[in-house]
């Protein structure tokens, strides 16, 4: 997987999307993504083609792969359950943001860029499927949480049941609030309400909206 991470890192450094890398290396999308997910390894010919597409020497890919451990110290990487993370990111993307506005991928990319974090829309789409084999960057998840108004524990601490309950009850409340046409409420006020109470309020708002 270090080789896959190296390719992803070099792709980001080159400012390329996965599709651009696929086109320039003349690989099929299914072939490339299959290897990116770890279904099969990139062979020597693949490395040469990818290096040419990236404008670097093949040895550079090997060098970055070999130093991926050091890179972890520079860019903290999260070892996590990709499927569960994908489910949570999907929930985040479907819920209104804390200010009531819609979650927007372009807005997320821009907000992350302001924090010095690069995110490719293709990478985001793959993360949502739960099939991403690229390194899960802690700073990226922190940026997603900040953009959406979600506690980082929901994305970083997958075993934290309380964080899941609180965040997903909050999503229900936000959705019901938006459906009712009401303005957003302060994060502090919502934070003082229990998940069960938030769900009850959300149900009441939906009932009112239905009449």
pLDDT values of the chain reduced to their tens digit, one per residue, 211 residues: 678 888 888 998 889 999 999 999 999 988 998 887 777 888 989 999 999 999 999 889 888 887 765 555 556 888 889 999 999 999 999 999 988 899 999 999 999 888 878 888 888 999 999 988 778 889 999 999 999 999 999 999 999 999 999 999 999 999 988 888 776 565 556 667 888 998 998 898 888 777 6
Q: What b/e string do you get for 30-63 counting C-beta neighbours within 10 Å, with b at 16 or more?
A: eebbebbbeeeebeeebbebbbebbebebeebee
Q: Please tell me the predicted confidence (pLDDT) of residue 171.
A: 94
At residue 117, the 3 state secondary structure works out as coil
Q: Please tell me the predicted confidence (pLDDT) of residue 184.
A: 59
Q: Please tell me the predicted confidence (pLDDT) of residue 211.
A: 64
What phi, psi does 99 have (nearest 5°)? -85, 5
Whether the pTM exceeds 0.75: the reply is no
Number of neighbours of residue 131 by Cβ within 10 angstroms: 14
Domains delineated in the chain: 2-74 (1.10.260.40), 77-210 (no CATH)
E-strand ranges in 35-180 read 77-78, 136-137
Q: Is residue 27 within 8 Å of residue 11, measured between CB atoms?
A: no
- Rounded Cα distance between 56 and 61, Å, is 8
Q: How would DSSP label each residue in 33-68? A: HHHHTTSS---HHHHHHHHHHHTS-HHHHHHHHHTH
Q: Please tell me the predicted confidence (pLDDT) of residue 189.
A: 60
Q: How many residues does the chain have?
A: 211
Closest alpha carbon to 171 in 155, 192, 148: 148
Give, in order, the Cα–Cα distances in Å from 39 to each of 78, 124, 132.
Answer: 21, 20, 12
């Amino acid at each position: 997987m270090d080789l896959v991470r190296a390719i992803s890192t070099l792709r980001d450094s080159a400012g390329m999307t996965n599709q651009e890398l696929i086109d320039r290396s003349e690989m099929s999308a299914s072939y490339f993504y299959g290897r990116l997910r770890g279904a099969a390894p990139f062979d020597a010919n693949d490395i040469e083609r990818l290096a040419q597409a990236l404008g670097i020497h093949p040895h550079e890919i090997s060098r970055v792969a070999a130093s991926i451990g050091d890179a972890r110290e520079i860019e903290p990487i999260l070892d996590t359950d990709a499927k569960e993370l994908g489910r949570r990111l999907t929930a985040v993307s479907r819920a209104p943001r804390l200010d009531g506005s819609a979650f927007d991928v372009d807005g997320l990319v821009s907000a992350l860029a302001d924090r010095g974090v690069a995110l490719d829309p293709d990478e985001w789409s793959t993360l949502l499927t739960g099939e991403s084999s690229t390194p899960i960057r802690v700073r990226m998840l922190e940026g997603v949480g900040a953009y959406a108004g979600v506690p980082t524990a929901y994305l970083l601490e997958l075993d934290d049941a309380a964080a899941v309950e609180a965040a997903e009850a909050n999503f229900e409340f936000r959705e019901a609030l938006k459906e009712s046409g009401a303005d957003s409420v302060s994060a502090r006020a919502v934070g003082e309400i229990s998940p069960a109470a938030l769900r009850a309020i959300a149900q009441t708002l939906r009932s009112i909206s239905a009449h």
